[in-house]
Amino acid sequence: MERIIFGDNQFFGINHSSEEKSRAQALKFKTNQSIVKVLDIIMDEGINTFMCTTHNRIADICDTMRSDSRYETLHIYPCLPYAHKYANAMTELGILGTIKQYVPGNLFSTFAKGGLAFVKKDFIAMMQLLIDAELKMFKGISTPVIFIQNVITDLVLGLGMTDFFVAFDRYIREKYNAEPGYITMNLPFLLNTLESCGIENPTICASINKSGFRMSGGKQLYEKTIEEKRCKLVAMQVFAAGTISPHEALEYVCEMDGIESILFGASSRTNIQNSKELIQSFSARKIEKVAV
């Protein structure tokens, strides 16, 4: 994975600290072209990995990427599922319309597989159907890592359904030739659980920041787990919903051994440039310290 990954929260009005900022961001990115312009900026800045949800509008962005060779070098890390779009589609299109729009393949065979899975309570088969539906929009686009959202990861973790993790890992590797990734709010617990069911050195995206924001188990336990270097780790929410300055936030995560990538989102060229330069500067300083 690349050191710097760009996220999509700002595009869809997601801000964990301010509803006012959320509304402003939603207004700023009300058109798909406004999103594409920011993707152009990150590519100009040498950032070639975009981590995003499977929001309906991302499908339109994917259409743009497929139609322009400029985006051939841009990798996408999908994060699934995006539940809101299914709820909205059910209201607008009904059950049949939703299945027809989102689930690839023959409608009858989909019903047969899905219905049988439901009757048998075959959650693995239902999971596979959902993955295929979510990834339909990315056909023809590079998706080297595919993440499962923390709302599912942490629910499965709490229920102790380790067979789900094993099946997800196998399905992503075998059908999509990609690395399975897991987003979580409990890094230590998830890592121990994945290792216990035979998934070694997994790719995990977790909240990591100086204030301990959304770090279940506590900052001290996280730091110990990170030092052990048992997984390929992506740090998210590094600014702790805007409560830490960019300089202080990025210095903290960049100085830590065991963090492979840093995920951040921004709305302007200036903020993108500043974050990128800080990450590069602090990362280089850490390398120099190790060399000495």
Evaluate whether residue 94 is within a structural domain.
no
Evaluate whether residue 12 is within a structural domain.
yes
Which of 61, 143, 130, 68 lies closest to 102 in space, CA to CA?
Answer: 130
- Position 107 scores a pLDDT of 42
- Position 289 scores a pLDDT of 75
pLDDT for 60 beyond 90? yes
SS (H, E, C) the chain: CCCEEEECHHHHCCCCCCHHHHHHHHHHCCCHHHHHHHHHHHHHCCCCEEEEECCHHHHHHHHHHHHCHHHHHCEEEEEECCHHHHHHHHHHHHHHHHHHHHCCCCHHHHHHHHHHHHHCCCHHHHHHHHHHHHHHHHCCCCCCEEEECHHHHHHHHHHCCHHHHHHHHHHHHHHHCCEEEEEECCHHHHHHHHHHCCCCCCEEEEECCCCCCCCCCCHHHHHHHHHCCCCEEEEECCCCCCCCCHHHHHHHHHHCCCCCEEEECCCCHHHHHHHHHHHHHHHHHHHHHHHC
Chain segment 155-213, per-residue pLDDT in tens: 999 999 999 999 999 999 999 999 999 999 999 999 999 999 999 999 999 999 999 99
- Position 120 scores a pLDDT of 43
> What are 75's strand-pairing partners?
49
Evaluate whether residue 114 is within a structural domain.
no
- Position 117 scores a pLDDT of 45
Contact 194, 202 (CB under 8 A): yes
Evaluate whether residue 25 is within a structural domain.
yes
- Position 101 scores a pLDDT of 59
- pLDDT more than 90, % of the chain: 72
Q: Which residue has the higher pLDDT, 242 or 102?
A: 242
pLDDT for 123 beyond 70? yes
Q: How many CB atoms lie within 10 A of CB 98?
A: 19
Least confident of 107-111, 198-202, 264-268: 107-111
Q: Which residue has the higher pLDDT, 48 or 14?
A: 48
Residue 69, Cβ density class (10 Å: 0-12 exposed, 13-18 middle, ≥19 buried): exposed
Count of domains forming the chain: 1
- For residue 234, the one-letter residue type is V
CA distance 186 to 103: 31
- Position 174 scores a pLDDT of 97
Evaluate whether residue 107 is within a structural domain.
no
Evaluate whether residue 63 is within a structural domain.
yes
Q: What is the CATH number of the domain that holds 41?
A: 3.20.20.100
Evaluate whether residue 59 is within a structural domain.
yes
- pLDDT more than 70, % of the chain: 83
Tokens of residue 80, six digits:
């699934």
Residue labelled with tokens 């693995």: 124
Domain that holds residue 228: 4-84+143-291
Evaluate whether residue 127 is within a structural domain.
no
